[in-house]
């Protein structure tokens, strides 16, 4: 008998949780108000799919604009802060501290400034996602191996060539890690702000149905948000796989990465 692979075990656990979701309220272990059965939740999701679809589009458009802001500004500021020593010493401690502030406290202020429509969500989520992108870009650029730059200069690289051929490719792994975190935070930012003060979006559906104790519709909204996060994660993974092929190339096919020196062609003149 062979041991099941981790992937199989993961799938079994997932399946088990779904079964529990259906069984626990049906058997009366927990009241259906706390956890409505899975089939009931899916049923209202199907019945109200037009409402959920419209809300999802609102949320998605807010997430898209907020991510553009977070990633664009994050990479730009991160590059400047990471690349220019003077600015780094001045600004990095400030940004690092700001990152630790629960920015959600600013959301009421944003609603006062930008209203309860999409604008305040976009600004809030953009700011929320900005910090990890900016900090990891700064870290990525600051921690580039000096040797890479020295070698490029010894080969006659100009400053633009240094940027395009060394600095950017060398910082891509760290920047991508930041984009992943920043993107996830942007989704969280949009949903949370929709739940707080809003008239539209998936987060709004969670709050609205909770106040009417309509548990199946709350859980239906939660399922949509989960699906959104999962799709985002799959997307980022795919981007990472494509961009970072040099970190993983050959590892899947070959158990040992380095070729033993013995397999080298023997030099004739040795």
Partner 1 sequence: MQHVADMTIFRGQALRPAVEVRGLSHVYAGRDGAVPALADIDLTVPAGKFVVIVGPSGCGKTSLLMMLAGLRAPTSGSILCDGRPIPSPDPSRVGVVFQEASLYPWLTAIDNVEFPLALKHAPRDERRSRAEAMLKLVGLEGFGGRYPHELSGGMKQRVSIARGLVQDPPVLLMDEPFAALDEQTRMTMGQELLRIWSQTSKTVVFITHSLTEAVYLADEVVVMSARPGRILDRVTVDLPRPRTYQMMATDVFGQLRERIWQQIRSAP
Residue 267 found at the interface with partner 1 (CB under 8 A) = yes
Residue 246 found at the interface with partner 1 (CB under 8 A) = yes
Q: How far apart are CA 41 and CA 61, in angstroms?
A: 25
Q: How far apart are CA 95 and CA 99, in angstroms?
A: 6
CB of 142 to partner 1, least distance (A): 18
Q: For residues 122-161, which are near partner 1 according to CB under 8 A?
A: 145, 147-148, 150-158, 161
Cβ proximity to partner 1, 16 vs 169, nearer residue: 169
Cβ proximity to partner 1, 73 vs 170, nearer residue: 170
Residue 255 found at the interface with partner 1 (CB under 8 A) = no
CB of 239 to partner 1, least distance (A): 15
Residue 269 found at the interface with partner 1 (CB under 8 A) = yes
Residue 166 found at the interface with partner 1 (CB under 8 A) = yes
Q: In this chain, which of 165, 184, 197, 222 binds partner 1, going by CB under 8 A?
A: 165
Cβ proximity to partner 1, 10 vs 254, nearer residue: 254
Residue 85 found at the interface with partner 1 (CB under 8 A) = no
Cβ proximity to partner 1, 79 vs 166, nearer residue: 166
Residue 253 found at the interface with partner 1 (CB under 8 A) = no
Residue 176 found at the interface with partner 1 (CB under 8 A) = no
Number of residues that bind partner 1 (CB under 8 A): 34
Residue 264 found at the interface with partner 1 (CB under 8 A) = yes
CB of 72 to partner 1, least distance (A): 23
Q: What is the 3-state secondary structure (H, E, C) of the chain?
A: CCCCCHHHHHHHHHHHHHHHHHHHHHCCCCCCCCCCCHHHHHHHHHHCHHHHHHHHHHHHHHHHHHHHHHHHHHHHHHHHHHHCHHHHHHHHHHHHHHHHCCHHHHHHHHHHHHCCCHHHHHHHHHHHHHHHHHHHHHHHHHCCCHHHHHHHHHCCCCHHHHHHHHHHHHHHHHHHHHHHHHHHHHHHHHHHHHHHCCCCCHHHHHHHHHHCCCHHHHHHHHHHHHHHHHHHHHHHHHHHHHHCHHHHCCCCCCCCCCCCHHHCCCCCCC
CB of 95 to partner 1, least distance (A): 27
Cβ proximity to partner 1, 60 vs 152, nearer residue: 152
Q: How far apart are CA 127 and CA 254, in angstroms?
A: 43
CB atoms within 10 A of CB 75: 23
- Which positions touch partner 1 (CB under 8 A)? 145, 147-148, 150-158, 161, 165-166, 169-170, 172, 246-247, 249-250, 254, 257-261, 264-267, 269-270
């Amino acid at each position: 008998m062979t041991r099941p692979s981790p992937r199989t075990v993961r799938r079994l656990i997932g399946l088990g949780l779904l079964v529990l979701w259906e069984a626990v309220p049906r058997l009366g272990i927990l009241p259906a108000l706390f956890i409505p059965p899975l089939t009931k939740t899916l049923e209202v999701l199907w019945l109200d799919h037009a409402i959920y679809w419209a809300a999802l589009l609102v949320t998605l458009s807010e997430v898209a604009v907020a991510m553009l802001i977070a990633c664009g500004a994050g990479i730009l500021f991160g590059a400047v802060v990471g690349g220019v020593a003077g600015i780094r010493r001045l600004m990095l401690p400030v940004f690092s501290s700001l990152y630790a502030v629960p920015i959600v406290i600013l959301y009421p202020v944003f609603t006062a400034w930008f209203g309860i429509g999409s604008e305040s969500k976009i600004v809030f989520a953009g700011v929320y996602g900005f910090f990890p992108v900016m900090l990891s870009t700064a870290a990525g650029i600051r921690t580039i191996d000096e040797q890479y730059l020295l070698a490029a200069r010894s080969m006659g690289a100009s400053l633009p060539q240094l940027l395009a051929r060394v600095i950017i490719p060398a910082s891509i792994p760290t920047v991508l890690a930041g984009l992943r975190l920043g993107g996830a935070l942007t989704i969280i930012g949009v949903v949370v702000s929709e739940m707080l003060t809003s008239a539209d979006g998936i987060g709004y559906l969670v709050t609205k149905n909770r106040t009417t104790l309509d548990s199946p519709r709350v859980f239906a909204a939660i399922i949509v948000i989960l699906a959104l996060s999962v799709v985002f994660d799959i997307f980022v993974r795919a981007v990472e796989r494509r961009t970072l092929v040099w970190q993983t190339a050959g590892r899947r096919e070959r158990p040992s990465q380095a070729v033993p020196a013995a397999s080298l062609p023997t030099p004739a003149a040795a």
